[in-house]
Amino acid sequence: MKINRFFQLSVLGATIFLASGCKKEVSRSTGWEYNNPKNGGFEKHQFTNQPTGPGLVFIEGGTFTMGSTQDDVMFEWNNSPRRVSVSSFYMDETEVSNLDYLEYLYWLNRVYATDYPGVYRKALPDSLVWRQKLAYNEPIVEDYFRHPAYRDYPVIGVSWVQANDFCQWRTDRVNEMLLIQKGILAMDPAQKNENNFNTEAYLAGQYEGLPDKQLPDLNPNGTGTRKVKKEDGILLPKYRLPTEAEWEYAALGLIGNTLYERVVERKNYPWNGNYVRTNESRYYGGFMDNFKRGKGDYMGVAGNLNDGADGPAACGSYFPNDYGLYNMAGNVSEWVLDVYRPLNSMEVSDLRPFRGNVFKTPVRDAEGFLAEKDSLGHMKYRDITTAEAMNRKNYRQADNINYLDGDYASSIDNNVWKEGAKDTSSTNLMYQYGISSLITDHARVYKGGSWRDQAYYLSPGTRRYLDENEASDAIGFRCAMTRVGGSIAGR
């Protein structure tokens, strides 16, 4: 294995330090001693690697063939196989459950209900997605989300926008608890309105909370103590939805199918072989996940049920894939971060592929200071302007959703070119929303089959889309988190 030169020097420096017994670490660049208030107090903190956040599983990245692995029976041709690389990241072991989401709603109601009741109402799942014109589903409409019998089942009726709001809330609650566990903040259940812990507001100095034990400030011009900074390595990166590439890579779990750098068997599903378990005699014939075997067959015959679930099953049911992830095929489909375009496979980057970037920057006042957080306690952001990006070579505008597919430059309509570009987007012209397609800039990809789907959609390579503000009785979500630093666990 190739060893990084900086890693060699770090090991050498640590060895010398240990051998000397008392010599303190100094900068390789300047020779000045770290963590010494007498020479200015520049700090370097001990950091080994990123801890795994609650509920997450480490997914070691790598290269894989993303795309369809079987005949395209729907004739959509929207996921042609291509080679891409995905960086290491973290993903939830299971889907987000009703109990997880109820905890979120409880917090919103406790913090915002008095002055901003709309925040709570906006986050509520749409329980009416269960209704069918010719089916008796009223009991599950009333009970699925709140009855304790379903508390460990995946939350459904949640839009893409609502799922992203949950991810932001989860980030803040996890980081707040990390600071409490470190003794830096005291528990503060009386938080209200804008006075609630938000990671970005805390780092920007716009949230105080109840300080318990602040860190020492080694800056001789400082106050003697300080708040946690990103450089301390205490706070975790954001929880977020996985990208489509991350989700598909994690679902396939090829880590169990490789010999050195050779993938010995490409998978159609998150497991080897067919959709019944055949490699363990005690489970022989048992279904690997929850799906619809055929018309009218959602769970099998009484006395010999196949997947045993007429709708969603509890999170963590059935068998995990080789990454230890449950229900990456079947049970519920899952939202991912990407905007849908049929030709994404031909256009997106081959490293960390993603479509949906809208580059933003913090709002600042006339003197250049960060604007005050909003009434809910969140920092304010705005899209970058064309003037701010005009001298860049890697991007020239904030909204890159339509780049190469939906923008003016990618239009093949000669009339559009003759008339001249009124704006940079021609999505409606290219896809004729409401006439020949439902593709817009708000169409988001969801992946994986569900309890409503037949076996074809269990393949991680299949892809579908829905408007980001709509919800379904068959779509849930799970969170992901970026891995900072090395791609190998423990490095």
Distance CA 237, CA 199 (A): 10
Mean pLDDT, to the nearest integer, of 312-334? 95
Distance CA 344, CA 404 (A): 9
Q: Which residues pair with 358 in a beta bridge?
A: 399
What confidence score (pLDDT) does residue 446 get?
Answer: 98
Residue scoring higher pLDDT (236 or 456) = 236
Least confident of 82-91, 132-141, 148-157, 270-279: 270-279
Least confident of 245-249, 259-263, 392-396: 259-263
CATH architecture, range 54-182+228-356+441-491: Alpha-Beta Complex (3.90)
Give the CA angle between residues 444, 449, 451 to the nearest 5°.
120
Q: Which residues pair with 287 in a beta bridge?
A: 276
pLDDT tens for each residue of 42-78: 999 888 889 999 999 999 999 999 988 777 777 677 7
What confidence score (pLDDT) does residue 187 get?
Answer: 95
Mean pLDDT, to the nearest integer, of 130-151? 97
Amino acid, single-letter form, for residue 300: G
| Residue 467 · residue 351 · CB < 8 Å | no
What confidence score (pLDDT) does residue 21 get?
Answer: 46
pLDDT tens for each residue of 410-448: 776 666 555 655 556 778 778 878 888 889 999 999 999
Distance CA 431, CA 437 (A): 6
Mean pLDDT, to the nearest integer, of 482-489? 91
Least confident of 44-48, 113-117, 183-187, 239-243: 44-48
Structure tokens at 473: 């009785």
Q: What is each CA distance from 243 to 90, 465, 479, in whole angstroms?
A: 12, 14, 10
Long-range contacts (CB closer than 8 Å, 24 or more residues apart) made by 364-371: 370/204, 370/206
What confidence score (pLDDT) does residue 262 get?
Answer: 84
Confidence of residue 368 (pLDDT cuts 50, 70, 90): very high
Confidence of residue 7 (pLDDT cuts 50, 70, 90): very low
**Beta carbons within 8 Å of 34's beta carbon, 6+ residues apart:** 24, 25, 26, 27, 42, 43, 44
What confidence score (pLDDT) does residue 317 get?
Answer: 92
What confidence score (pLDDT) does residue 438 get?
Answer: 87
Q: Which residue has the tokens 């980001």?
A: 468
pLDDT > 70: what percent of the chain? 90
Task: Give how far the C-alpha of residue 116 lies from the chain's centroid of Cα atoms, to the nearest Å.
Answer: 27
Distance CA 377, CA 467 (A): 28
What confidence score (pLDDT) does residue 284 get?
Answer: 66
**Beta carbons within 8 Å of 82's beta carbon, 6+ residues apart:** 65, 66, 67, 345, 346, 350
Give the CA angle between residues 435, 436, 437 to the nearest 5°.
105
Total count of residues recorded for the chain:
491
Confidence of residue 408 (pLDDT cuts 50, 70, 90): confident
What confidence score (pLDDT) does residue 325 get?
Answer: 97
Q: Which residue has the tokens 């290491």?
A: 88
pLDDT tens for each residue of 142-189: 999 999 999 999 999 999 999 999 999 999 999 999 999 999 999 999
Confidence of residue 393 (pLDDT cuts 50, 70, 90): very high
pLDDT above 80 (res 275): no
What confidence score (pLDDT) does residue 4 get?
Answer: 52
Quote the pTM value: 0.91
What confidence score (pLDDT) does residue 8 get?
Answer: 46
What confidence score (pLDDT) does residue 12 get?
Answer: 42
Structure tokens at 169: 């809330």
pLDDT tens for each residue of 456-478: 899 999 999 999 999 999 999 99
| Residue 18 · residue 10 · CB < 8 Å | no
What confidence score (pLDDT) does residue 20 get?
Answer: 40
3-state DSSP of the chain:
CCCCHHHHHHHHHHHHHHHHCCCCCECCCCCCECCCHHHCCCCCCCCCCCCCCCCEEEECCEEEEECCCCCCCCCCCCCCCEEEEECCEEEECCCCEHHHHHHHHHHHHHHHCCCCHHHHHHHCCCHHHHCCCCCCCHHHHHHCCCCHHHCCCECCCCCHHHHHHHHHHHHHHHHHHHHHHCCCECCCCCCECCECCCHHHHHCCCCCCCECCCEECCCCCCCCEECCCHHHCCCCCCEECCCHHHHHHHHHCHHHHEECCEECCCCCCCCCCCCECCCCHHHCCCECCCCCCECCECCEECCEECCCCCCCCCCCCCCCCCCCCCCCCCCCEEEEEEECCCCHHHHCCCECCCCCCECEEECECCCCCECCCCCCCCCCEEECCHHHHCCCCCCCCCECCCCCCCEHHHCCCHHHHHHCCCCCECHHHHHCECCCECCCCCEEEEECCCCCCCHHHHCCCCEEEEECCCCCCCEECCCEEECCCCCCCCC
Q: Which residue has the tokens 């893409």?
A: 160
Largest CA distance in the chain: 80
Amino acid, single-letter form, for residue 452: R
pLDDT above 50 (res 27): yes
Residue 235's closest CA among 282, 175, 185? 175
Confidence of residue 207 (pLDDT cuts 50, 70, 90): very high
What confidence score (pLDDT) does residue 232 get?
Answer: 94
Residue environment code for 303-337, b if the CB has 16+ CB neighbours within 10 A, otherwise e: eeebbebebbbbbebbebbbbebbbbbbbbbbbbb
pLDDT above 90 (res 451): yes
| Residue 471 · residue 126 · CB < 8 Å | yes
Residue scoring higher pLDDT (409 or 227) = 227
Average pLDDT taken over every residue of the chain = 89
Q: Which residues pair with 382 in a beta bridge?
A: 361
Confidence of residue 227 (pLDDT cuts 50, 70, 90): very high
Residue scoring higher pLDDT (433 or 123) = 123
What confidence score (pLDDT) does residue 287 get?
Answer: 82
Q: From the CA atom positions of the chain, what is the Rg in Å?
A: 25
pLDDT > 90: what percent of the chain? 70
pLDDT tens for each residue of 196-206: 999 999 999 99
| Residue 154 · residue 178 · CB < 8 Å | no
